[in-house]
Amino acid sequence: MSQWDVVIGLEIHVRLALDSKLFSGASAQYGAAPNSQVSFLDAALPGTLPVVNERAIDYAVRFGLSIDADIPEVTRFARKNYFYPDLPKGYQISQMDDPIVGRGQIEIETDKGAKIVNITRAHLEEDAGKSIHDQYDDWTAIDLNRAGTALIEVVSEPELYSAKEAVAYMRAIYNRVTFLGICDGNLQEGSFRCDANVSLKPTGSETLGTRAEIKNLNSFRFIEKAINFEIKRQKQRLERGEEVVQETRLYDADKDQTRTMRSKEDANDYRYFPDPDLPALNITADRLAKQRAVMPELPEAKLTRYTREWHLPEDDARQLAYDVAMSQFYEQSQALTKAEPVDNAKFLITDFNALLNEQDSDIKSTNISPGQYAGLLDAMSSGEISRKIAKQVLAEMWTSGESAETIIEQQGLAQISDSGALQSIITQLIKDNPNQVEQFKAGNDKMFNYFIGQVMKQTKGQANPAQTKQILEELLSNE
Amino acid sequence: MINLSIRELNQLLEKKQISLPELSSIYLDRCQQFNPLLNALLHINDDIQPEQLLTADNATGLLSGIPLIHKDLFSTHGVRTTAGSRMLAEYIPPFDATVVARLNQAGMMSLGKANMDEFAMGSSNEYSYFGPVNNPWDLNRVPGGSSGGSAAAVAARLTPVATASDTGGSIRQPAAFCGITGIKPSYGRASRFGMIAFASSLDQAGVMAVSADDCGLVLEAMMGHDDKDSTSIKADPWSWQAPQDAAMQGLKVGVIPAWIEQLTDDDIKQSTLSALETLVEQGAELIEVDLPHAELAVAAYYILAPAEASANLARFDGIRFGHQCADKSDDINDMYRKTRSEGFGAEVQRRIMLGTWALSSGYYDDYYCQAQRIRRLISEDFKQAFSQVDVMAVPVSPEVPFKHGEKSDGVNMYQADQFTIPSSLAGLPCLSMPIQPAHNLPVGLQLIGPYFNEQIILTTAAKFQMVTDYHRQMPEAFV
């Protein structure tokens, strides 16, 4: 039995997928030549003033709506003051009181099933530039391209109780913002970064322990390792009777450990105050309605629709609903096929996915269009081909790029659904195998499958199974 | 010639009684000749080529070809802009302030840049890194501040017009001290873009000139919404109409008896009462009003303005532009410390420290938030007053220009802003116009208008100036 409860809260920085920065209009493109995307405002030249990027407001609102959050009528920007060479103004424009997104929630998957995690708030802020310490021996280089790009910081309640849950939460937020299209999700480029507040308390205790903050985690793997290391470190200290010091720590992935970055004593007093350059912003009901209208359907809503209206099994529905690309492909193909949604889902999740795995590809980069795929589904649902043949045709579609129809026709893969033809094959089989007929009549049911197998063999698997079964039953009973 | 109004100068140009180069060289010669006495100008644009600056669009119009001087707080493209600070002693902006750009568009000819208190902090213009400005009426005395250079330049007729800025009285007090007319429009009327920030929620660009009519003409050209300044208000612009006669029948003028009582200098009190009498003679009705919270204004202002300044001036860190200490530094913080200790004068450092302190955790609520509350109460007081009157007439300063070095006590200097700060906190339009001198030195009367009604104070001042000639008087040494 563990003696300690782990409590984790996350602050996630989501870079908004915008063409221009939060306040300057300069390009926010990643990867340009250093300092090539720096406006006068980004360099904090005297007299320059911020003008808010309205799209950033819309994106933040969209995020807020997606987590069912309170969106206050009035939101305000504040200055967070500290000196650092890659922070040109000497303050970061962020939000303190009246953030754009209030309390909300998101569902995560845990070992014990689904869990609701409360989100305290999410606010807009500008990113700092980059200090590059390792490029020159005697210098620190500053790249201000990133300075002023738009972030939302999503702050969770301290309601995550293991590294696994923290990762599940981070994934849920990641899926959400990429689903909404407000973040490009590029972890390497720092589009999605996370600070984790970790603390331990004696099992059952109501009071939270002293926390350490691990800064700047930008991979799902590292966050889990970093938190686990931190839990171990704090546990060791507590069990030795030492105190955990409130501090900021950095995770070193190479050594798989966290180390002190700065202690609480060195912590900045950020002296937040409302930014007088930016009047309070009214978020009108009209704006909310507009954003609601352009929001893609959320996974939760999709899940409900898939299970209630399309009668998908919960597992299948969940797999599709929470995967943007899959659900898109699924819905697009469903709109074009006569096949039942249930059958489409089943084939997509098992057979199509198997092919994608085999090809080391994914649904986003498949060269089979939803329309082509719908054609295949139609052939299957009409009974023209069996599921087994359909898999074969799909593989052929992948390599040749031809439509299902063409492949089925060229390779003569259509099921024999001609009852006359099936009837004559089966009549001949019965005639040729009197022993087996006798055994069947004597009660050996296995013999029925023997005949089915023979039909399939003779038709190279193209016989319509249902029809075959029906004709066989009929003719055998006549014997 | 040099005491002519803008309309009169325009007539000379229109009738070709004087050429553009002649007009600008008359003023440029005066700048060259008299500036050594005044130190009002930090830059004289002696290679000005007026005809080349005019385009088809602005070759005509009342302001076309009219010389002016910009306070050195306004960024001028390619022309050194110092804000009176060592920090920016070598700074050349790569863009024009919106106010500068608009006056250029109107065809005005910039003769140079005016000295000022460092970063507009001061009421005597003794806090310029480039030395104090002398008052043209008595060179041993201060011209007021922070727009002391602009005021002295207009008073000595080195220019017919100057731009200026007002945060807590920086236009009105030097206008009063130098015997000229100066208007600070409503907060949000003129763009702050390119104007080096002192206290963003209070800073406002304005005009200094010989007469209210001149102020009206120039203000009309420079005000109006600017997309680059989120605090500039989208309101219908007005066009300046000079009054036809001096009649003030039906005009309700608010006076504050307590403020007049606070004028301990009897001569100033007499001047003020006699100016009010002049208004009455023209038919105005004096109505006593009260601003019950105004006595708290100075205290609130000296929290709010330094708080904002402490953040606004954080960008001067020696990294991207501006002064950087020459000595080798131990680390980045040492570099900041040395750079800022060298680059900022004592008064600026004092205010940065005041503001930093007022925003610090533990003090923020007691000081900053409390001051904001007072600010709101004062705005309410004014609203109350303007429900009874059309315009308010109050003193500008309790004193006449004092001698250089006479005031060494900062708080004493702050307290003298008591009559100008309340209208600044409320964001109201206000002006100072010359009235009967006291002790042979200029005295001003302040007119305050309701929010966004600059016309009423300009019209009232213009009428006053139809029946008085204080504004036409010139210091003898500069005739």
CATH number at residue A455: 1.10.10.410
In a domain, residue B277? The reply is no
Per-residue pLDDT at B215 exceeds 90: yes
Whether pLDDT at A1 is above 60: no
Decide: residue B122, CB within 10 A, 0-12 exposed, 13-18 middle, 19+ buried.
buried
Would you state the pLDDT for residue A417? 66
- A94's torsion region: left (phi>0), alpha (psi -120 to 50) or beta? beta
A432 and A402 in a common domain: no
Q: What stretches of A269-359 show up as alpha helix (H) in DSSP?
A: 285-294, 299-308, 314-321, 324-334, 341-346, 353-358
Whether B399 maps to a domain, the answer reads no
Tell me the backbone φ, ψ of residue A74, rounded to 5 degrees: -125, 130
CA distance linking residue B164 with residue B174, whole number of Å: 10
Whole-number percent of chain B with pLDDT over 90:
93
A335-339, long-range: CB within 8 Å, 24+ apart, which pairs?
A335/A374, A336/A370, A336/A371, A336/A374, A337/A374, A337/A375, A337/A377, A337/A378, A337/A381, A338/A377, A338/A378, A338/A381, A338/A382, A339/A374, A339/A377, A339/A378, A339/A380, A339/A381
Mean pLDDT of A233-253: 91
Residue A291 included in any domain:
no
- Helix, strand, coil shares, percent, chain A, to 5: 40, 20, 40
Q: Rounded to an integer, what distance in angstroms lies between the CA atom of residue B142 and that of residue B176? A: 12
Residues 223-282 of A with CB under 8 A from B: 269, 271-273, 276-279
Residue A90 forms contact with B (CB below 8 Å): yes
Which pLDDT value is given to residue A427?
A: 86
Q: Are the C-beta atoms of B382 and B423 separated by less than 8 Å?
A: yes
Joined tokens for residue A172: 């849920």
Structural domain contains residue A142 = yes
Residue A441 lies in a domain: yes
Residues A54 and A135 in one domain: yes
Residue A350 has pLDDT above 60, yes or no: yes
CA distance A263 to chain B (A): 17
Confidence of residue A388 (pLDDT cuts 50, 70, 90): confident
**CATH number for the domain harbouring residue B70:** 3.90.1300.10
Phi-psi region of B101 (alpha: psi -120 to 50; beta: other; left: phi over 0): alpha
- The reply to whether residue A279 touches residue B229, judged by beta carbons under 8 angstroms, is no
**A175 in the same domain as A156:** yes
CA–CA gap between residue A410 and residue B304 (Å, rounded): 82
Tens digit of each residue's pLDDT (9 = 90 or more) over A423-452: 888 888 888 888 888 888 888 888 888 888
Q: Which of A45, A89, A269 sits opposite B93 (nearest CB)?
A: A45
pLDDT at A345 over 60: yes
**Residue B66 CB partners (closer than 8 Å, separation 6+):** B6, B9, B10, B107, B108, B109, B160, B161
Please give the Cα distance from B421 to B398 (Å, whole number): 13
Give domain status of residue B256, yes or no. no
Q: Which of A37-41, A373-377, B235-239, B331-335 has the lowest mean pLDDT?
A: B235-239
**Nearest CA-CA distance, residue A50 and chain B, Å:** 7
Same domain, A113 and A242: yes
Show the DSSP H helices in B203-323 as ranges.
212-222, 257-261, 266-281, 297-312
- In angstroms, the CA B262 to CA B255 distance is 13
Number of domains in chain B: 1
More confident residue, B360 or A470: B360
Q: Are B183 and B213 in contact (CB under 8 A)?
A: no
The verdict on A305 and A272 lying in the same domain is no
| Residue B149 belongs to some domain of the structure | yes
- Predicted TM-score (pTM) of this structure: 0.87
Task: Examine the domain organization and report whether A207 and A161 are in the same domain.
Answer: yes
* Same domain (yes/no): A243, A268: yes
Separation of alpha carbons B334 and B327, rounded Å: 10
Work out the number of other CB atoms within 10 angstroms of the CB of residue B421.
24
SS3 (DSSP) at B167: coil
Q: Tens digits of per-residue pLDDT, A390-416?
A: 999 999 999 998 999 888 888 877 777
B423 catalytic per annotation? no
Q: Mark yes or no for CB contact B359/A271 under 8 Å.
A: yes
CB contact under 8 A, B317 and A43: no
Last residue of a domain, one of A239, A264, A286: A286
Q: Tell me which residue range forms the domain holding B143.
A: 6-247+430-478
Residue A218's pLDDT is what?
Answer: 86
Kindly calculate the radius of gyration of chain B based on its CA atoms and give it in whole angstroms.
Answer: 21
Candidate from A46, A142, A278 with C-beta closest to B88: A46
pLDDT bin (cut points 50, 70, 90) of residue A262 is confident
**pLDDT tens readout for residues B108-157:** 999 999 999 999 999 999 999 999 999 999 999 999 999 999 999 999 99
Closest CA to B397 of B224, B209, B175: B175
Angstrom distance (rounded) from CA A99 to CA A72: 8
Query: Torsions phi, psi of B441, nearest 5?
Result: -125, 155
Domain hosting residue A47, numbered range: 4-286
pLDDT value at residue A464:
79
* List of chain B residues whose C-beta atoms are within 8 Å of the C-beta of residue A84: 332
B228 annotated active-site: no
Using pLDDT thresholds of 50, 70 and 90, give the confidence band for residue B42.
very high
From A262, A286, A310, the end of a domain falls on A286
Does the beta-carbon distance from A46 to B314 stay under 8 Å? no
Which of A18-22, A161-165, A272-276, A397-401 bottoms out in mean pLDDT, i.e. has the lowest?
A397-401
| Residues sharing a CB contact under 8 Å with residue B403, sequence separation 6 or more, in sequence order | B140, B141, B142
Pick from B97, B230, B319: which is nearest to A279 by CB? B230
Element (H, E) at B285: strand B285-288
Report DSSP state, residue A350. I
A163, A223 Cβ separation under 8 angstroms: yes
For chain A, what is the largest distance between any 2 Cα atoms, rounded to a whole number of angstroms? Answer: 101
| B117 domain residue, yes or no | yes
Q: How many domains, in total, are found in chain A?
A: 3
pLDDT reported for residue A265: 67
Q: Is B219 contained in some domain?
A: yes
Q: Which two tokens stand for residue B77?
A: 């493209």
- What residues are paired with A151 via a beta bridge? A15, A125
Question: Does residue A55 sit within a domain?
Answer: yes
Alpha carbon of residue B466 to chain centroid: 23
- With tokens 């029948």, the residue in question is B249
Statement to judge: residues A147 and A128 lie in one domain: yes
* Paired sense of beta strands B109-114 and B285-288, if any: unpaired
Q: What is the mean pLDDT of chain A?
A: 91
In the predicted model, what is the mean pLDDT of residues B94-103?
Answer: 98
Are A153 and A61 part of one and the same domain?
A: yes
Domain shared by A177 and A281, yes or no: yes
pLDDT of residue B249: 97
Q: Which amino acid is at A58?
A: D
d(CA A185, CA A213): 23
Q: In this structure, are A174 and A316 located in the same domain?
A: no
Q: Is residue B387 part of a domain?
A: no
Closest CA of chain B from A292, distance in Å: 26
pLDDT at A141: 95
- Interface check B231 vs A, CB under 8 A: yes
* Residue A403: HSE in the Cβ half-sphere, 13 Å Cα cutoff: 10
Judging contacts by C-beta atoms under 8 Å, the chain B residues touching residue A267 are: none
Cβ within 8 Å, pair B192-A51: no
Contacts of B333 in chain A (CB under 8 A): 83
Chain A environment of B192 (Cβ under 8 Å): 47, 49
Q: What does the pLDDT look like over A287-319, one tens digit per residue?
A: 999 999 998 888 888 999 999 999 999 999 999
B269 catalytically annotated: no
ipTM of the complex model: 0.96
Q: Do B194 and A47 touch (CB under 8 A)?
A: yes
Q: Look at residues A286, A314, A336 and tell me which one is the last residue of a structural domain.
A: A286
The catalytically annotated residue of B71, B113, B184, B463 is B71
Does the residue B313 lie in any domain? no
The pLDDT of residue A322 is: 84
Q: What is the mean pLDDT of residues A230-242?
A: 93
Q: Which of A52, A85, A277 sits opposite B319 (nearest CB)?
A: A85
* Residue A240: exposure state from Cβ atoms within 10 A (0-12, 13-18, ≥19): exposed
Quick one: pLDDT at residue A2? 55
| DSSP states of B19-30 | -HHHHHHHHHHH
- Residue A167 included in any domain: yes
Burial (CB count <10 Å: 0-12, 13-18, 19+), residue B329: middle
Average pLDDT (B380-384) is: 98
For B83, nearest residue in chain A (alpha carbons): A46
Do A111 and A21 sit in the same domain of this protein?
Answer: yes
Nearest to A81 among B199, B230, B314 (CB): B314
Average pLDDT, chain B: 96
In chain B, residues 310-369 whose CB comes closer than 8 Å to chain A: 310-311, 313-315, 317, 319-321, 332-333, 336, 356, 359-361, 364, 368
Predicted confidence (pLDDT) per residue in A63-114, tens digit: 999 999 999 999 999 999 999 999 999 999 999 999 999 999 999 988 888 8
Whole-angstrom distance, CA of residue B331 vs CA of residue B24: 50
